[in-house]
Amino acid sequence: MAARVSTIWFLGGADARTELSKYPQPDQTEALKIAMSLYPDKEFESLGPQPLSMAATVSPGYVFVGAYGRVSVVCSSELSTFVPSKLPDSWHLSAEGGSTLLISSVPETAQGSFALWENGELRRSFSAIPIDIVENLGIPQTWELEFWAGNHPLRYPPGILPDPQSLPFHPQQFAESANLEWLGFRYTGAPREHELDTTQILLWGFKIHRPGEAPKPAPPAPVPVPEQAPTEIPMPENMPPIHDTPVAKPRGRLARYFGFK
């Protein structure tokens, strides 16, 4: 696997392949809740939904979370660990009866890692570079046998002799096979038949800030009130004509008072 991958999956008793095949929309509220539980002293700037194909390559300072009911995933650069068994307990978010899956791949060092926890207990952990196994705990899974049997050997350029300590497989390819077995998709190459498409699996992205540094949301723009033309008052129908009635001149002393002769 040449792709950079730094993910951890939480399965609350659900089959990930089945749940993800529906390509559910990520729950923004739940995603923020998970991010806050992992980084309780930080603030977050929402980046909107992002595809897993991009989110899995997460850089420091960002976190991507997909919350889909009983299945959740977090992408963080802190998960690119050489020793999966040393992952802090704060990252174990699966509910009782669920599973936790860690998949990590670092192209710069050709490192591949994966781990499986069930009911909070570590069942399998592997991490290596092509010439050294860093961690190899638990009983190998059935799908691993063909790798240990040498069916996926390392390939070297012409004229380059293999290192005598080389593994019988590439650790990154090993990690990708774990991802395919457990989750139903690969990060490299176009999806094959019955494989999920990582460009269609959406996560909610957040930029991580120190307290007080996250940008404040812009206030809503005022809504302009449309100007209305003056409303004409309709005249009642069959209205009798209005005539100017002459005013009678005052008489007597009243006439003299107003200046009439």
Q: Judge if pTM exceeds 0.85.
A: no
| 133/119 Cα distance (integer angstroms) | 26
pLDDT for 136-159, tens place per residue? Answer: 999 999 999 999 999 998 887 787
On whether residue 125 sits in a domain, the answer given is: yes
Does a structural domain hold residue 250?
no
- Whether residue 150 is contained in a domain is answered as no
Residue with tokens 């069930």: 118
Residue 261 belongs to some domain of the structure: no
**Euclidean distance between CA atoms 140 and 172, whole angstroms:** 16
Which domain, by its residues, includes 77?
3-138+169-207
* Domain contains 248: no
- Do the Cβ atoms of 116 and 123 come closer than 8 Å? yes
Q: What is the pLDDT of residues 84-103, one digit of tens each?
A: 999 998 888 765 668 999 99
Q: Does residue 200 fall inside a structural domain?
A: yes
- 43 part of a folded domain: yes
pLDDT in tens, the chain (261 residues): 578 999 999 998 888 999 999 999 999 999 999 999 999 999 999 999 999 999 999 999 999 999 998 899 999 999 988 899 999 988 887 656 689 999 999 999 999 999 999 988 999 999 999 999 999 999 999 999 999 999 998 887 787 777 778 899 999 999 999 999 999 999 998 999 899 999 999 999 999 999 887 787 666 666 666 666 555 555 556 555 545 445 455 555 545 544 555
pLDDT at 256: 55
Q: What's the pLDDT at 120? A: 85
Domain total in the chain: 1
Distances (CA, A) of 88 to 58, 79, 81, 84, 103: 19, 10, 11, 9, 15
pLDDT in tens, 27-52: 999 999 999 999 999 999 999 999 99
**Dihedral in degrees, nearest 10, Cα atoms 186, 187, 188, 193:** 40
Q: How far apart are CA 40 and CA 158, in angstroms?
A: 51
Separation of first and last alpha carbons in the chain:
118
State how beta strands 62-68 and 202-209 pair: antiparallel
pLDDT at 242: 47
Separation between Cα atoms, residue 109 and residue 2, nearest integer Å: 11
Inside any domain, residue 146: no
Rounded CA separation 2/173 (Å): 8
Contact 58, 76 (CB under 8 A): yes
Query: Which residues have CB under 8 Å from 32's CB, separation 6+?
Result: 44, 46, 65, 204, 206
The whole-number pLDDT of residue 258 equals 45
Chain position carrying tokens 């991580």: 208
